[in-house]
Amino acid sequence: MSSKILDRFSGINRDYTPNDVERLRGSIKIEYSMCKNQSEKLWNLLNSESYINTLGSLSGNHAVQHAKAGLKAIYLSGWQVAADANSAGEMYPDQSLYPFDSAPKLVESMNNALIRADQIQHMEIIDGDMKLNNQVDYMLPIIADGEAGFGGPLNVFELTKKFIKAGAAGVHFEDQLASEKKCGHMGGKVLVPTST
């Protein structure tokens, strides 16, 4: 692991030990290689680029087109999921009314499409049908909007687990009270304290 990756946690103070994590993990050590690879890629981009140009994506096909357009990352917006890409198939306002697993399912779908595009490209290069200098980096890190977490700390924990399993490179959460969540552009938001 590179020193930049190790430095990423140097400013974090944890109130638990590695032994605490090991005790809670269980006897089977599960590796989430997609999440690990993509989060390291995102971290390296954040530390090597002055900014990362990205767009919101609504589907796996959109994600593939983002890669072909030369973007280096994908953003998954909560309002996009609410309005057009949730597992209920409904159109909602940006108020966390849609099923909580909608965004992780969309991250998984986008990653599946990116993996498939990468597999096809890899095969075409090996078969000599494509030149290396035409290669597209399909494995774009996805930054996902976790809204206000859809509840309390345990809900945030479960949602984060789903994002990790889906291969998200990063997740952000709003500091709004989940039960009173409003669109970020609206007034009347109720914020929760971020200190403990």
Alpha-carbon torsion angle 89, 93, 95, 101, nearest 10: 20
Q: Which own/partner contact pairs does 62-71 have at CB distance under 8 Å and 24+ positions apart? A: 62/110, 63/110, 63/111, 63/113, 63/114, 63/140, 63/142, 64/113, 64/114, 64/117, 64/138, 66/140, 67/114, 67/117, 67/136, 67/137, 67/138, 67/140, 68/136, 71/140
And the tokens for 58? Answer: 């609504």
CA pair distance 151, 120, nearest whole angstrom: 40
| End-to-end CA separation in angstroms for the chain | 32
- Residue 35 appears among annotated catalytic residues: no
CA distance 124 to 63: 20
Catalytic residue among 69, 183, 186, 191: 183
Tokens of 130: 């494509």
Sign (positive or negative) of CA dihedral 63, 65, 66, 70: positive
Residues identified as active-site: 183
